[in-house]
Amino acid sequence: MSEISAGSETGTSAADSGSEYRKTECRRILVKTPFGRGCSESEDLFGKFCRESPFNSYFVLPTTALVHRVIRGMLSKGIAAAKKSVCTPKMLAEEIVKQNHDYRLISDVEAKMILTRVIKSDRSFVESLSPTKEFTSGLLNDLYTLIYSICEQRSDYGAVLRSDSEHPSAKNRALIAIIDRYLAIIEKDRLVSPELLYARAAEFIENGDGKVNPMKDSSVILFGIYEPVPSLRGFLTAVSKAAAKTVYYIPFSENKRICSDDGSWFEPHETAQLSPNPVCKRYERIFGDDSKENQGDETESAVSAEGGDEASVSSWSSLSASSENAVKVYAKCFPNAKSEISAIAEEIHSLIENGVSPSEIAISFPDPQSNLALLDEIFGDFNLKYSAYVPLSLANSPIVQSLMLIPRVISENFSPRSVGELFASPYFRLKGRTADRYLIEKTAIAANIGNGFHSWENSIEWLLRQKESKLSDDSLPEFKKNAIKRDIAEIRLISESVIPFLSELNALNKSARYSEHIQNYLDLLRRYNLPFLSNDCGLDLYRSDNSALEKFYKLVSDLYEISEQFFGEKISFQEFAGSLRASVAGCGAAEVHDSSAVQVLGMNGLQSNGYEYLFLAGLVDGKLPLLPKLIPYITENESKLLWSDKRREKIRWETFYFISALCSAKRGLYLTTRASAVKDTLPSPFYIAAVERLDAVEMPERELIHSALRS
């Protein structure tokens, strides 16, 4: 095995490895890559490939965050590469599938619609699987999770579901029939659903399906793709066998409890190994293996860590070996999330005031989505901007939320609250003067409006007659008559603006085919020019709204197409509205990133990324590590056959990503957690181990710029 020691005057670089490849005519090179290594080497090699063949070189990276960083780095160096050549495995697979026009790529939302059709095609399926004997969104999501796991693991589900008995139970017979029918529809209609993406892309590469092989004669670099699941492994194998040359920088650790994949499935013609990064080696020792085979390595690691002031630290982040540039580790436990994020905001504010660029600061949570609302609130108080590399649901978009208020009014039977919320939306504006939320809810109370559109019609008419009758009383003083006149004007405003629109909504409340419901809904939006968009709110929000709106209409268009094909029966508007809500919630929002702001990422997104200052926050037990749930609808024995080592693999993966996150800090590393007897939260064992073994000091107290936030 050759030793590639980047940064060493005598070592062979990864780029040189590419040159050596041509001499030996190797097609596949495996480079074992310890933590904190390989990023600059692989970038240099990709630059070399691009200069030789700019339109036939691919750099495949594990995360979108790393894709964006590499692209920015290439542009700054003036390196030209073909569009989409720097990508994640998913992006590459989707691009390959799109080149085959006989097949259509569908989203998980569309896939679930097809699965819904299959489940409802036989009443016995629901009766065998649902405790309530009713179809629910939970049933649908659980079944899709099961199918996804089966396809991801490339399992023989028939054998798995027949493993406990020669004669499967009614439940297992239903599962086998549902999966059979679902996959048959996907195959017959030449669809590519998310769970089959890698398998189908691999097929297209292997046989071309009559088309030119899209990876032929290409140069491919695979970097940092950690322990790929069987479906992804099959895709990467197909890519490497079709390409002219492939270099795979595989994550590597001597500790098998961190990295167990030796890359043998890649079938390399040559294997090399980069020298370790002493700083990251120190982080690996947090999870050190006490077995004899690793004791020598552990001793060496300890010496490297303790002699850090003198050791040569050669890392992709170009940290010097001087003690002044060593990563400083801070830690603190907070009583709750608000005080934790407030302290982080204080520290970031101080760093920026002292000249640190916001783009060189990152915050990572095990579950970033659940912390975004607090970040919005607290960062706004500090006038701090952040950009999140977090998969957000389209349902989080304000403009999409306003569009979903319309079917919600019908689903909630025209309740005054839902009508008031609709008319309060800034994206909802009718021509001419209309009533606001306060007036609608005030009038609804006065008219004693209940549920249903006709309650609005009848109650408003009744209230108007009542007021007009009172006004005809000559004995009333003038000031009371004026008050009644104002009430009458307000009631007429509602009668002339709100009631006609509600009447239009009521016309939608009928049984129809799914595609007809969509068409009626879109026609309503067009007639009233909804949603209302204004650029007075700022260019950033205007662009964000437009992006979300484009994504929403694309989703609705896809739903229309798939429903035309698979949903012929009529359904109620309430069922349609529920399905649309679930589809919107399951659809990812278009990502718009600001590289100049503080970066917010999940733990996975930090892999091979580098920031001057990094905050690893929310390190609580139960979130890190997050243990896998049982796969729904199958027994423990069946689960082991489907995915034999799931729990152990999940802990190993989270360990790897936590160490990768630690390696991302160049100058300052902040570890924070929460502990509360009231909320039953405890620090993560990862946090405890890191604080103890890294000799972390307490996070500094800053002058409380916004002291109220700490309370």
What's the CA gap between 621 and 1, in Å, rounded? 41
Cα dihedral 617, 622, 627, 633 sign = negative
What's the CA gap between 631 and 633, in Å, rounded? 7
Q: At residue 598, what are phi and psi to the nearest 5 degrees? A: -60, 135
What's the CA gap between 530 and 516, in Å, rounded? 19
How high is the pLDDT of residue 154?
93
What's the CA gap between 127 and 125, in Å, rounded? 5
**Cis amide prior to 230 (ω within 30 degrees):** no
Residues 6+ positions from 301 with CB-CB distance below 8 Å: 281, 282, 284, 285, 288
What single-letter amino acid sits at 252?
Answer: F
CA 354 to chain centre: 33
- Structure token digits, residue 292: 């004899």
Provide mean pLDDT across the span 268-290.
87
3-class DSSP state for residue 454? Answer: helix
Domain ranges of the chain: 2-86+215-275, 104-189, 327-392+593-710, 396-586
3-class DSSP state for residue 100? Answer: coil
Q: Which residues pair with residue 104 across a beta bridge?
A: 191
- The residue with greater pLDDT, 310 or 401, is 401
Cα dihedral 548, 552, 557, 562 sign = positive
How high is the pLDDT of residue 10?
34
Average pLDDT of the chain, as a whole number: 86
Residues 6+ positions from 376 with CB-CB distance below 8 Å: none
Q: At residue 219, what are phi and psi to the nearest 5 degrees? A: -110, 125
The answer to whether the beta carbons of residues 531 and 403 sit under 8 Å apart is: yes
Provide mean pLDDT across the span 465-477.
88
- Structure token digits, residue 621: 């037990």
Interhelix angle for 539-566 vs 514-527, to 10°? 150
Q: Could you identify the residue written with the tokens 């007009």?
A: 468
pLDDT at 247 over 90: yes
**Cis amide prior to 34 (ω within 30 degrees):** no
How high is the pLDDT of residue 345?
96
What's the CA gap between 89 and 259, in Å, rounded? 20
What single-letter amino acid sits at 71?
Answer: I
- Structure token digits, residue 586: 């399951």
3-class DSSP state for residue 65? Answer: helix
Residue 165 — pLDDT band, cuts 50, 70, 90? low
Closest CA to 66 of 467, 676, 601: 601
Residue-wise pLDDT for 133-142, tens only, equals: 988 888 999 9
Half-sphere exposure of 41 (CA within 13 A, CB side): 33
Question: Looking at the domain 327-392+593-710, which fold is it?
Answer: Rossmann fold (3.40.50)
What's the CA gap between 544 and 416, in Å, rounded? 30
The answer to whether the beta carbons of residues 186 and 196 sit under 8 Å apart is: yes
Give the range among 84-93, 240-249, 337-346, 544-553 with minimum mean pLDDT: 544-553
- Taking CA atoms, 9 is separated from 4, 5, 12, 13, 312, in Å, by 11, 9, 9, 10, 13
Provide mean pLDDT across the span 601-621.
94
Q: At residue 600, what are phi and psi to the nearest 5 degrees? A: -120, 125
Residue-wise pLDDT for 659-693, tens only, equals: 999 999 999 999 999 988 777 789 999 999 999 99
What single-letter amino acid sits at 673?
Answer: T
Residues 6+ positions from 367 with CB-CB distance below 8 Å: 602, 618, 623, 626
Same fold, 2-86+215-275 and 327-392+593-710: yes
3-class DSSP state for residue 662? Answer: helix
Question: Looking at the domain 2-86+215-275, which fold is it?
Answer: Rossmann fold (3.40.50)
- The residue with greater pLDDT, 706 or 397, is 397
Highest mean pLDDT (candidates 275-284, 355-364, 568-577, 621-630): 355-364
What's the CA gap between 260 and 650, in Å, rounded? 12
